[in-house]
Structure 1
């Protein structure tokens, strides 16, 4: 096999004699390697993905590996393998990248307070949620952490958003409606806060908004947010970052005026956390 690209010391893109490309990873496999070098697959080297043909996917992987250790990619792949089997579905190839990115940041913030619960996920997508709970246990074991329960809802959203063959076709709602509102809300946010330098930042926001808009369109009833803590945390956050209050209000007004939906405190809190990530990424440019 020949080296096509070295992502880092532990991950390389190779091509075999049939010109089929694959990602290999193993400790030190890419050390001092250059494109065109011959490489052999030792017993401690794993094939990550075979028959790669999408340059956009490779570019996304390259961006991920600049910031995220390969171990998170391996855990992401393992979670997807179990989820596809348990849910009898297949996922978009980009899920392994977006999920690895999510896991990395979830582990980094694991010691912080859980403010990421989306109460409707379990009721609307019970199968994906149950599988996501298993995924959280796998992450906890792999990285010796204890993720907050809210992470199961976030991982379940990743599953729902990337299913190529939805478990329930009735859950596959009007994409035109979702895309229209998603585009307009993103325009409001980017106009206020700038375009984030890191693609993953915008991707996480997009996943959250798409899920929320889909739930509104499907007319599923939300469990009211009765926790006083969310309101207190939200107000504290907005006092610390007052610039975000204006953007949050514009987005709130859009949901109310265009979709006749009033965001509760939990939804506002989670949204403003995303807005802060966008603002931070935009300022890094």
Structure 2
């Protein structure tokens, strides 16, 4: 929605309820929920009850709950507005590129991350990302957004970062896509890599990362991993169907059983027969040469 149109719909609610600093003020939306409005000089000499100058508005932030709002306010008081603007540009680019809604908390997590990363790089503290390869291959669209981000940071903030930081930013985008925490995103990425290794070791093959079947397997593993860490596994289906797949694709089903045992041992989650069926079918597709057309 066009920002000016959005503001016009706020009507009487677009008044200052609190001045945070020269560039941020609090207000309320049409549902009387607290929002934070960003704009250069928007809080300068403003007082509670004043109409917000819509011509100065650059971004309206809404957060999920009071705790998130309060944390965002604390960041606003501590961080340069330039870091918020860069973060906002990255998030807008991610939304356009992915065509998805992102969890609003990314405005907190990504801005905070960028601020700390800028500090680290300016002070010569550079860390490698041990999951760089996995992020590039399992979350390539998000990694490309990360590359866009590091280029934007260089242009706007004068700090040159590299591919490790692109992967870090990509994981923040992944979190916002799937409503997970950063620790879960790291565990999911590791689990996907471990499952693929079980497949490649079992069949002694190298997977074609350009194939449609590989892409579909990765997508399936993302959601399987998310279900594992959220404790929302698919329920058991009819055992007859699982038996049919086990008979039709015995080696692939055995591989799926290996994956099941690994997940149970490492993560204390037992996957259902329905999950086994899906895994076996996907494994069959990537482990055999088939016509994808």
Report the TM range for the smaller structure's normalisation: 0.5 to 0.7
Tell me the alpha carbon deviations over residues 138-172 of structure 1, each in whole angstroms, 9 at most, x when there is no partner.
1111111211321001001001111059xxxxxxx
Cα distance in 1 for residues equivalent to 2:82 and 2:74? 15
The aligned counterpart of 1:28 is 41
Matched, 1:110 2:121: yes
Matched, 1:80 2:94: no
The aligned counterpart of 1:216 is 190
Of 119, 134, 143, the residue aligned with 2:157 is: 143
Q: Which runs of 5+ in 1 are unaligned?
A: 166-174, 176-205, 223-257, 261-285
Distance 1:20 1:59, change over 3 A: closer
Indicate conservation of the 8 Å contact 1:114/1:149, yes or no: no
Could you state the TM-score of these two structures normalised by the residue count of structure 1?
A: 0.56
Tell me the alpha carbon deviations over residues 108-130 of structure 1, each in whole angstroms, 9 at most, x when there is no partner.
12242532323221121111111
Matched, 1:259 2:270: no
Cα distance in 2 for residues equivalent to 1:221 and 1:75? 37
Cα distance in 1 for residues equivalent to 2:26 and 2:50? 12
The aligned counterpart of 2:18 is 5
Equivalent residue runs for 1:39-78 within 5 Å: 39-41=51-53, 43=55, 45-49=56-60, 54-78=65-89
The structure with more radius of gyration: 2
The aligned counterpart of 1:240 is none
Indicate conservation of the 8 Å contact 1:13/1:23, yes or no: yes
Tell me the alpha carbon deviations over residues 80-131 of structure 1, each in whole angstroms, 9 at most, x when there is no partner.
1111111122210000111011111111122425323232211211111111
Indicate conservation of the 8 Å contact 1:22/1:47, yes or no: no
Question: Post-superposition shift, 1:61?
Answer: 1.1
Indicate conservation of the 8 Å contact 1:11/1:70, yes or no: no
Distance 1:50 1:128, change over 3 A: closer
Question: What secondary structure, in the 3-state scheme, does the structure 1 residue paired with 2:37 have?
Answer: strand
The aligned counterpart of 1:160 is 174
**Bigger RCO of structures 1 and 2 (CA < 8 A, at least 6 apart):** 1
Question: What secondary structure, in the 3-state scheme, does the structure 2 residue paired with 1:14 have?
Answer: strand
Question: What secondary structure, in the 3-state scheme, does the structure 2 residue paired with 1:2 have?
Answer: coil
How many aligned positions are there? 186
- Higher helix fraction (1 or 2): 2
Question: Post-superposition shift, 1:17?
Answer: 8.0
Superposed CA RMSD: 3.2
Of 137, 140, 160, the residue aligned with 1:126 is: 140
